[in-house]
Amino acid sequence: MAVATNAVPVIPNVQFDAPLIRKLSQQGPRYTSYPTADRFNEAFGMGDYLQAVNNVRAMGARNPISLYVHIPFCDKLCYYCACNKIITKNRSKAEVYLTYLKREIEMQGKLFADMNTVEQLHFGGGTPTYLSHEQMGELLAHLHKWFRFAPDEAGEYSIEIDPRTVSPERIHALRSQGFNRISFGVQDFDPDVQKAVNRIQSEELTLGVMNAAREAGFRSISIDLIYGLPKQNLVTMNQTLAKVIAASPDRISIYNYAHMPALFKSQRRIAEEDLPSAETKLDMLSLCIKRLTDAGYVYIGMDHFAKPNDDLAIAQRQGRLHRNFQGYSTHAEAEMVSVGVSAISAVGSTYSQNEKTLEAYYERIEQGELPIVRGTKLNVDDLLRRIIIQKLMCNFELSIRSLELAYPITFANYFEKELAKLRELEIDGLLTLDEDWLTVTPKGRLLIRNICMVFDRYLGMKREEPLQRLRYSKTI
């Protein structure tokens, strides 16, 4: 299959500097939120969430709504997986779950009645297509009963897919049910790598469902890859990249596998001697960046690449890109309402997370309560630092003057300690800094988490959880 990125030549906006990465790579947050989820506390409950919704309503409910639906079930265990999932072939568990999930949707729908339209919907997991076509249809009908949705051409309605769980016919059915964006988990095409992580998935199967997505009229097709898996090497990675580029998805995410068996039981099934060395992982990352940028993909940030004409790339060029718990998004100001076990919402100046086990989730809903177990209210300092981290993660630059106009601060005084650390990173070549702008250099973009960590006032504070320091992956 020929390469078909439909793009003019792109000047790479990222530079791989191996010595710099070796020097500065460390454990750190991915900043899908600030404060990060490990800073949520159980003092935050349903009452705090209700107050946040009331505050949004009182302010005129100016922002659209982004809905996230968590389906935790999977048929099979992928050894590398660190998601909140339940491995079971007992389909009755999904029936029970849907009963409670619909009750939570109704509660949330009543709270947001007559407020703004849903412009973004994302189904994640787990494996959302664990649900049958009929179950998915009933769930979507229930969502439409309780929320008002933007029309197809205006809304972004996405679903994560395990290609092993769908047929081309099911892909067409998902499009007819209203999904217009789709993401396929691939990880690696090499058979030995697939066997080592217990995910056997043929190239023919993956390309078949991708082609079906194109035929069905999905607006955006995304592929997820992982580097650093057992049995991977430069040769296998290059072969996988060639196949992915030939398939020509609109977006490609390439995640760094973080081996943390102390936290994730399934990873204990991976033979550590099969893992590539740190040096090989760096070489694979360099290869990924070169192959994808040479093929015309734009480096969006973190793990994400997109074609220049993709909405993500356009939003970044226009300064509209946003980052949330689903990664990069074009809906910057949406109130994020999340339903399902372990799901995290971001409403007003709060974050809230649902119960993490089915038993606790069901019990709370039986009591007629939203199943919120913890969260946090953001103070003015949190909001200030959040906007800085957002701007850096999404746009790789920060207008200091604009920030001083929006907040009653003098940047140099308020962030005196942070500026000293930024100057050190400037010497390393990660950024440039003057009175008006903080600008991340092409070689600093891969280490953007390091730069954002400078503004994270919680990083040096003690945590209650003894394994918390292990929860962060390496910045590269």
Q: What is the pLDDT of residues 190-244, one digit of tens each?
A: 999 999 999 999 999 999 999 999 999 999 999 999 999 999 999 999 999 999 9
Whether residue 138 is predicted with pLDDT greater than 80 in this model: the reply is yes
pLDDT digits (tens, 9 = 90+) for 354-392: 999 999 999 999 999 999 999 999 999 999 999 999 999
Whether residue 397 is predicted with pLDDT greater than 50 in this model: the reply is yes
26 pLDDT band (50/70/90 cuts)?
A: confident
Q: What average pLDDT does the chain have? A: 92
Whether residue 3 is predicted with pLDDT greater than 70 in this model: the reply is no
* Among 18-32, 131-145, 277-291, the least confident range: 18-32
Alpha carbons within 13 A on the beta-carbon side of 322: 15
Using DSSP, state whether 230 is helix, strand or coil: coil
Whether residue 1 is predicted with pLDDT greater than 60 in this model: the reply is no
Of 384, 284, 357, 283, give the one whose Cα is nearest residue 34.
384
470 pLDDT band (50/70/90 cuts)?
A: very low
Domain limits of the chain? 11-35+380-461, 37-337
Give CATH for domain 37-337: 3.80.30.20
pLDDT digits (tens, 9 = 90+) for 240-283: 999 999 999 999 999 999 899 998 899 999 999 999 999 999 99
330 pLDDT band (50/70/90 cuts)?
A: confident
Using DSSP, state whether 142 is helix, strand or coil: helix
Q: Enter the tokens of residue 407.
A: 């907040």
4 pLDDT band (50/70/90 cuts)?
A: very low
From residue 416, give the alpha-carbon distance in Å to each of 34, 392, 405, 411, 425.
20, 18, 18, 8, 15
Exposed e or buried b per residue across 211-232, where buried means at least 16 C-beta atoms within 10 angstroms of its C-beta:
ebbeebebbbbbbbbbbbbbbb
Question: Residue 95: what pLDDT?
Answer: 97
Whether residue 9 is predicted with pLDDT greater than 60 in this model: the reply is no
Question: Residue 25: what pLDDT?
Answer: 86
Question: Residue 11: what pLDDT?
Answer: 60
Q: Enter the tokens of residue 431.
A: 């950024």
Give the pLDDT mean for 144-151: 97
For the purposes of burial, counting CB atoms within 10 Å of the CB of 170, is it exposed (0-12), middle (13-18) or buried (19 or more)?
Answer: middle
| Strand intervals (E) in 228-297 | 251-256
What sign has the CA pseudo-torsion 222, 298, 280, 472?
A: negative
Instruction: Specify the higher pLDDT residue, 304 or 466.
Output: 304
Q: Do residues 127 and 88 make contact, with C-beta atoms less than 8 angstroms apart?
A: no
Domain 11-35+380-461 has CATH 1.10.10.920: yes
Q: Enter the tokens of residue 417.
A: 């300690």
Question: Residue 327: what pLDDT?
Answer: 80
Whether residue 23 is predicted with pLDDT greater than 70 in this model: the reply is yes
pLDDT digits (tens, 9 = 90+) for 271-323: 999 999 999 999 999 999 999 999 999 999 988 999 999 999 999 999 889 88
Question: Residue 10: what pLDDT?
Answer: 52
Whether residue 462 is predicted with pLDDT greater than 80 in this model: the reply is no
- Note the maximum CA span of the chain: 61
471 pLDDT band (50/70/90 cuts)?
A: low
Q: How far apart are CA 407 and CA 350, in angstroms?
A: 19
Question: Residue 380: what pLDDT?
Answer: 95
DSSP H or E run through 131: none
Whether residue 8 is predicted with pLDDT greater than 50 in this model: the reply is no
Instruction: Give percent of the chain above pLDDT 70.
Output: 95
